[in-house]
Amino acid sequence: MLRLSEMLKMAKYALVGGLNTGVDFAVFCALIYGLGMPTAGAQVLSYLAGTANSYLLNRYWTFGVRGQKNAAELVRFVAVNVVSFAAATAALLGLEYAGLEAALAKAISVFVSLAVNYAGYRLWVFGGKERQRIGEPEA
pTM tops 0.75: no
| pLDDT in the model for residue 22 | 92
Q: Predicted confidence band at 129 (pLDDT cuts at 50, 70, 90)? A: low
Which pLDDT belongs to residue 138?
47
- Report the C-alpha gap between 24 and 80 in whole angstroms: 17
Residue-wise pLDDT for 55-64, tens only, equals: 889 888 988 8
Q: Which residues contact 91 (CB under 8 A, 6 or more apart)?
A: 105, 108, 109, 112
What is residue 128's predicted lDDT score, i.e. its pLDDT? 63
CA distance 96 to 104: 9
The DSSP code for 134 is T
pLDDT at 5: 82
- pLDDT tens string 60-98: 898 888 777 788 888 999 899 899 989 899 999 999 999
DSSP string of 45-96, one letter each residue: HHHHHHHHHHHHHIIIIIS-B-S---HHHHHHHHHHHHHHHHHHHHHHHHHH
Nearest to 48 by CA among 97, 76, 89: 89
Which of 24, 35, 128, 8 lies closest to 76 in space, CA to CA? 128
- The model's pLDDT over 104-123, given as tens digits with 9 standing for 90+, comes to 998 888 888 887 888 898 88
pLDDT at 6: 79
The pLDDT of residue 80 is 94
Give the per-residue pLDDT at 14. 87
* pLDDT attached to residue 139: 44
Nearest to 44 by CA among 1, 6, 116, 93: 93
Q: Is 136's pLDDT higher than 80?
A: no
